[in-house]
Amino acid sequence: MEEARALDSTYPATKRDAFCIPTFGSMGTKLAPNGSLGDPVTYLCGNSLGCMPRSTRAAINDELDAWAARGVESHFRHSGEDRGLTSWVDIDLPLSKLMSPIVGARDSEVAIMGSLTANLNALLAAFYKPSSSRFKILCEKGAFPSDYYAFYNQCKLHGIDPDSALVRLEPRKGETYLRTEDILKAITANSDSLSIVCLPGIQYYSGQFFEIEKITAHAHSFPGIVVGWDLAHAVGNVPLELHSWNVDFACWCSYKYLNSGPGAIGGIFVHDRHASVAADPLSPDVEAMPRMAGWWGNNRDNRFQMKEVFEPIEGALGFRQSNPSVIDVVALKASLEIFKDFGGMQAIRRRSLLLSNYLLKLLQRSAYYHEKSTDGEGKVGFSIISPLNETERGAQLSLLIQFSKDNPQANTMERVFGYLNDRGVIADERRPDVIRIAPAPLYNTFEDIFTAVKLLNDAFKSL
């Protein structure tokens, strides 16, 4: 513990107080002998749902006040205007500026909108234009199911057999994450028939950080391939440079590392080269890309004139469909302001690596750590299925819990997870045998990590 405390005093979690960390009292967790109800639990689950910023409640209350005070008029005349609050018609616009540095985009390339799967479907609707010869979607075999359902049904919507269209990559036998060289090879092998490459920036299960720039460039070296990324686990976790990496499109949710609240609003990136519009009367023949369209993507100046002409806004904003939930938007804004104050993604990544490397070190020191999976060999313990090399992963380390040969049905993972949970360690389980631990650099401490690994060791000892 002394080492962890020393690290915390050298690298203090300067923004921890900006967040509500659940306590033993609020979680209803049994107290340790010297514990008290107000002690924070060890929350290492920012990869699933980030903690609530303290400023979120006031930000939402401002909008409730505006609604109460002026009702519909708040769309154009917000009661908090004198405090710099934005009228609802433009509520999301200030967020593009806060979001674009987080994903490495131009402001015009980012829109705050929708939710992740809906956005993925909308972007696929715009970008997936299969022909009889070019119709394949390259994705992962272990993709998050929602993404797979989207890919599968996009094929169906086009009358294409998903079994022939989906190229699904999986790690080599005995390996736990994909090799970039295998992804590149698969792209080359299918280059005549690929329409879209769509992969996760960070894989939800293994925590692998894909080589976005390299994979995108390789796919683009063949004409006709579009490259999109699901950044659910990457946004706010690792620095991204979507514009200069030449990514075609990307989408994300904001409730994980971006701490915007459960199910809150997501976002999209559309590279500027796809989002120009024939706003210039001198080139009226340049048509905007067909898309899932709605009035919020339409020219703001005539949006309320109810014309039957769709004039998309230039850039990603033109892909918006509906007016956004203002409550969601301001909740996200409250968190993005903390990111800005902290100094942006490079500073976050520096702290994230300090924390996750410390976690890795303690895990590797554990008596229960196995370098390789030993399932069924008689030794309970864990191996790490995430890349060990820091450049190949984000904050998350995924532990594969190994069962004992003598008792393979012993629900080892559930028992370890339950042990941790009962003692105030909030991590994330993926049945049947994975526990994901993700220190969030904005609020987690080295002490959190020490506590989690100590209790993990105790859990194995207790089995």
Residue 101 found at the interface with ligand PLP (CB under 6 A)? no
Query: Is 131 annotated among the ligand-binding residues?
Result: no
Which residue of 66, 219, 232, 235 would you call a contact of ligand PLP, by CB under 6 A? Answer: 232
Q: Cβ of residue 90: shortest distance to ligand PLP, in angstroms?
A: 24
376 CB contacts (<8 Å, ≥6 apart)? 403, 405, 408
Query: Is 119 annotated among the ligand-binding residues?
Result: no
Residue 140 found at the interface with ligand PLP (CB under 6 A)? no
Residue 199 found at the interface with ligand PLP (CB under 6 A)? no
d(CA 155, CA 73): 43
Long-range CB pairs of 130-134 (<8 Å, 24+ gap) are 130/155, 130/158, 130/160, 130/165, 130/195, 131/195, 133/192, 133/193, 134/192, 134/193, 134/194, 134/195, 134/224
Number of residues that bind ligand PLP (CB under 6 A): 12
Tokens of 195: 């329409």
CB nearer ligand PLP, residue 92 or residue 147 = 147
Q: Where are the alpha helices (DSSP H) in 158-280?
A: 162-165, 180-189, 212-220
Q: Any bridge partners for residue 270, and if so which?
A: 249
Instruction: Name the strand (E) or helix (H) holding 283.
Output: none
Q: Cβ of residue 154: shortest distance to ligand PLP, in angstroms?
A: 15
Would you call 16 exposed, middle or buried from its count of C-beta atoms within 10 A (0-12, 13-18, 19+)? middle
For residue 209, give the 3-state DSSP assignment: strand
Which residue of 39, 60, 94, 115 would you call a contact of ligand PLP, by CB under 6 A? Answer: 115
Query: Is 382 annotated among the ligand-binding residues?
Result: no
The strand ranges marked E within 50-109 are 52-53
Residue 151 found at the interface with ligand PLP (CB under 6 A)? no
162 CB contacts (<8 Å, ≥6 apart)? 151, 152, 155, 156
CB nearer ligand PLP, residue 128 or residue 144 = 144
Residue 258 found at the interface with ligand PLP (CB under 6 A)? no
Query: Is 195 annotated among the ligand-binding residues?
Result: no
Asked whether 242 and 201 are in contact (CB, 8 A), the reply is: no
Which DSSP string do the residues of 215-245 spell out, in sequence order?
HHHHHHTSTT-EEEEE-TTTTTTS---TTTT
Residue 204 found at the interface with ligand PLP (CB under 6 A)? yes
Residue 167 found at the interface with ligand PLP (CB under 6 A)? no
Residue 117 found at the interface with ligand PLP (CB under 6 A)? yes
Which residue of 92, 140, 211, 230 would you call a contact of ligand PLP, by CB under 6 A? Answer: 230
CB nearer ligand PLP, residue 115 or residue 191 = 115
Query: Is 252 annotated among the ligand-binding residues?
Result: no
CB nearer ligand PLP, residue 140 or residue 375 = 140
d(CA 203, CA 47): 11
341-380 positions binding ligand PLP, by CB under 6 A: none
State the binding site for pyridoxal 5'-phosphate: 116-117, 144-147, 230, 233, 255, 295, 323
- Binding stretches for ligand PLP (CB under 6 A): 115-117, 144, 146-147, 200, 204, 230, 232-233, 253
State the binding site: 116-117, 144-147, 230, 233, 255, 295, 323
